[in-house]
Structure 1
Amino acid sequence: MNTDRIVDLLTSRAVLTVVPSTILLTLAFVGIAVVVEGLVVTNLVTRLPIYVLVFALAFIVSLLKLDNRNRDGMQILIATAGIGFAASLLFGLATEGAFYLAYNPTALLRRGLIVVFLAAGIICTGLGIWGIRHWREFVTATTASPSTTASDGGMNDAYK
């Protein structure tokens, strides 16, 4: 067993994926709290064009990545619009959370909410990584044949 390779792989995944994603999601959770509480830092109007630009960039990158003659064009368009919206929403909420923490850093630390938001960010990062790796299981319809279900109760499928 090559333990150096395993350590390098885990380190690169942790550093390049888990840490930035957790920070982004933690800031987005802070941003949600800020928006819900109505504590948005001033000059939001000056940041809105940046959020639109993030939407446009995520839209075009995902469109170029997903575009394929063998795929349905409407599905590609819906997916890219969803990716663009999700990216701009996540970026916008994280930005608002970062601005709030920059202007009022002790507000969340006093109540200990930053730890809760960090825990939620870690959990959502794990679920996101798992969801990206297993998304095909949710979009493909698998139906068991009645004979398989009747004979072994579906246990044969569980071990494939």
Structure 2
Amino acid sequence: MVKGASQKMTIARGDRIPSVPIKLVGTGDTIDTTSDAVLGHGLVVFFGVPGAFTPTCDTSHLPGFAANTAKFKALGVDKVVCGTVNDHHVTRAWAERSEAIGKVEFIADGDGILADAMGLSKQMSGMGKRFARFAMIIRDGVVEDLFVQDVAGVTVSGAPAVLMALQAAQVSA
């Protein structure tokens, strides 16, 4: 989200998911839709990766979420969604090759419009605009928790950290 003309703000707890055009890649056809239509209903875990097929995203970030979809569902999560600033063809090829399609839905944010709207875009040398590595818990379109990865690797934004946050929320409820 953008505050003022020049100050870029990162989405935060309590903020609504912005409504921008995206492509949803799932088990069927790729669908032109909006971010709030995909992320705005029920309990959603949304994580963003710098790029499909990139080493850490491919071997650490996505596999953790895909392998734990049953655990997420047991904690009341309606869906797990991965966002990437890649075109929908690359996103689909990655989803299929990783065998995550059907477990995880994928947002192809080819121009980085969603990444910018959420204040979670970053310029990466040789790769252009990408999502920062993050995960969030969204309930009915409102961010409940946000985990932005500040260091290399997958720690605070990985599936284990999000599962722990969901479990802690259940205990305190």
TM-score range, shorter chain: under 0.3
Which of 1 and 2 has greater Rg? Answer: 1
Which structure is higher in strand share?
2
User: What is the TM-score normalised by the length of structure 2?
Assistant: 0.23
Larger RCO, structure (CA 8 Å, separation 6 or more): 1
Per the normalisation by structure 1, the TM-score is 0.24
Higher helix share: 1
